[in-house]
Amino acid sequence: MAEAAEVLDMEPLGVSVELRETDGELLEFDVVGRARGFLAQPHVHTGQTESYEVVEGGMRLDVDGRTRVLREGETASVAPGVAHAQRPGDHGSGRVRIQVRPAGTTEDFLRRLADMSARGDFLRGGWPKPLAAAALVRDFGDEGHAAKPSLRTQKRIAGALLRAASREYLFVDEWDVDAPPEAVMAALADGRSYPDWWRPVYLEVEADGEPEVGKVSHQHFKGRLPYHLRTKSRIVEYDPPRSLSVDVDGDLRGHGRWTLTPLPDARTHLRFDWQVFADRPLLRVLTPVLRPAFRWNHNWAIQRAMEGLEPYARRLSTA
């Protein structure tokens, strides 16, 4: 149980969200205000049960075309796969406590909405801009999506929009590490260790504490191309020893995800998905003509990771 609720501001959507409790199996949060725009539209959770308790005010719950009005103290649940919409009550602001089981990526989704609100990614009335909406479908559609059109159609439209506007570099690297997943994750999650094993790529890393969701670190690194980069990373998902995800901003803006799979004999299969958004002055210079040079630079940096991670993780596992 969290000591105090973390508040996510979603003013363009008419609400704020107070994160109350999460343990992987359960996410509990309060929605405060009057939801509008796409938040109040019919949608489907493919594998999650969503439960509601009206703490203040009221809520209109539409389930498969039928409306139920919930008053203060009343509760309801919606099973996975059932189309539904949560709409404000008749008057004033409300507070609805929501529980989602299993938690899945719901917290990441809520944080994305807060980030979009801060960046101005919503139009008037609480509707996401087209590219931001397409990214939501791409990143969260398999777990939850609008009731209509079909998810397949939504993905097709989202993919076409993102491809048309793409200024991204997408990299996927996989290799086996002769060290147990716990040690490999310990090295990857603590960015302060990168100058020790990911050399000569990482020059300096500062972090504000041990790795956990929300923790921030600052990096100074370089590649084979003649430039140095400074970035800030925030851990957005941390499930040791299975996965780690970070959002990156600064000279580069991107999203990285490490996925670890245990292998026999205390070894680890490692996958790194790295998505870089080419919207910074440096990468605008790297036009599509220079895209192979940027990939060559990335491949060089990953080779240095392959060389340094295994011996470092093995030392951790025997310490």
pLDDT given at position 65:
81
The C-alpha atoms of residue 143 and residue 112 are separated, in whole angstroms, by 15
Q: What structural domains and CATH numbers belong to the chain?
A: 6-164 (2.60.120.10), 168-318 (3.30.530.20)
pLDDT single digits (tens) 216-254? 999 999 988 888 899 999 999 999 999 999 999 998 889
pLDDT single digits (tens) 121-132? 999 899 999 989
Q: Residue 179: how many CA atoms within 13 Å on its side-chain side?
A: 25
pLDDT given at position 170:
84
Contact 134, 161 (CB under 8 A): yes
DSSP structural state of residue 198: S
pLDDT single digits (tens) 3-12? 578 999 999 9
Backbone dihedral angles phi then psi of residue 36, each to the nearest 5 degrees:
-140, 175
The C-alpha atoms of residue 201 and residue 218 are separated, in whole angstroms, by 14
Which of 4-8, 39-43, 68-72, 163-167 bottoms out in mean pLDDT, i.e. has the lowest? 163-167
The C-alpha atoms of residue 77 and residue 60 are separated, in whole angstroms, by 13
Strand order across the 267-277 sheet: 168-177, 267-277, 253-263, 243-250, 228-239, 216-222, 202-207
pLDDT given at position 225:
80
The C-alpha atoms of residue 286 and residue 281 are separated, in whole angstroms, by 9
pLDDT given at position 92:
81
> Which pLDDT band, with edges at 50, 70 and 90, does 255 fall under?
very high
Q: Which of 264, 282, 278, 188 is nearest to 233 (CA)?
A: 188
The model carries a pTM of 0.56
* pLDDT > 90 fraction of the chain, expressed in percent and rounded: 78
